[in-house]
Amino acid sequence: EIVLTQSPGTLSLSPGESATLSCRASQGFSSSHLAWYQQRPGQPPRLLIYGASGRATDIPARFRGSGSGTDFTLTISSLEPEDFAVYYCQKYGSPLLFGQGTRLDIK
Amino acid sequence: QVQLQESGPGLVKPSETLSLTCSVSGGSLSSNNWWIWIRQPPGRGLEWIGDIYHSEATNYNTSLKNRVTISMDTSKNQFSLSLTSVTAADTAVYYCARDGPYNNFEIGHWGQGILVTVSS
């Protein structure tokens, strides 16, 4: 079974800086099956990126997804205060898999 | 716009059965979509429980497979989760969700979640 490993576990940055979040899979799969989510406290996850690089409706352009095969990246440029949250990657399928999450903290 | 809403008891006793319902509005359970249950223990990550398609097909997390059943009532536009023999480890926020709306390999529609605590 494929395992998704996100790194780092926690990332401490300041507003205005850029964040690079990694999602690495133990086996390669189609990039169309890779999505990224943002979760703020007390809220359900919010879809950010689908198909590894497609931005969901109303998601700001500072969120960019990239990658293929086993290595996927979510880049957030010029961090805004509302971007500090937990981010999950997800592989669709059976089983549907999530990474363990990266917490983006304000430095 | 599809909306999902979980309902059910917030407290379940150990060894009993957890039963939740997801009510769907703005969309039909007969659509070509998978209807999904996901849970999140307090302070932890997301865990897929299982999903259902057209009342014909179900998939379950193998770690829960012997205890979980997902079913659908198209007349009420609801789908349900049943988890038997619960323990404290089943305490979590339970989300119902639907795949889509882009290439159906993402989950773009989520309920707000319901916290279920397993305790005597």
Q: Which of B120, B100, B96 is nearest to B110 (CA)?
A: B96
Note the pLDDT of residue B55: 81
Q: Are B9 and B53 in contact (CB under 8 A)?
A: no
Determine the distance in angstroms separating the CA of A4 from the nearest CA of chain B, rounded to an integer.
12
Q: Which of B4, B50, B116, B64 is nearest to A44 (CA)?
A: B4
Determine the distance in angstroms separating the CA of B44 from the nearest CA of chain A, rounded to an integer.
8
Q: Report the residue of chain A nearest B110, measured CA to CA.
A: A44
| The Cα angle at residue B81 between residues B4 and A5, in degrees rounded to 5 | 80
| The Cα angle at residue A104 between residues B103 and A18, in degrees rounded to 5 | 80
**Which among B105, B112, B114 is the top mutation candidate for probing chain A, defined by the most A β-carbons within 10 Å of its own β-carbon?**
B105
Chain B residues in contact with A45 (beta carbon < 8 A)? 46, 95, 107, 110
The predicted-structure confidence for A75-87, as pLDDT tens digits, reads as follows: 999 999 999 999 9
Q: Maximum distance among all alpha carbons in chain A?
A: 38
Measure the CA–CA gap between B2 and B111, rounded to whole angstroms. 10
Note the pLDDT of residue A25: 98
Q: Are B67 and B83 in contact (CB under 8 A)?
A: yes
B106 shares contact with chain A (CB less than 8 Å):
yes
Per the structure block, which two tokens stand in for A32? 């169309």
B45 shares contact with chain A (CB less than 8 Å):
yes
Examine the pLDDT at A52 and tell me if it is beyond 90: yes
Determine the distance in angstroms separating the CA of B5 from the nearest CA of chain A, rounded to an integer.
12
The predicted-structure confidence for B34-52, as pLDDT tens digits, reads as follows: 999 999 999 999 999 999 9
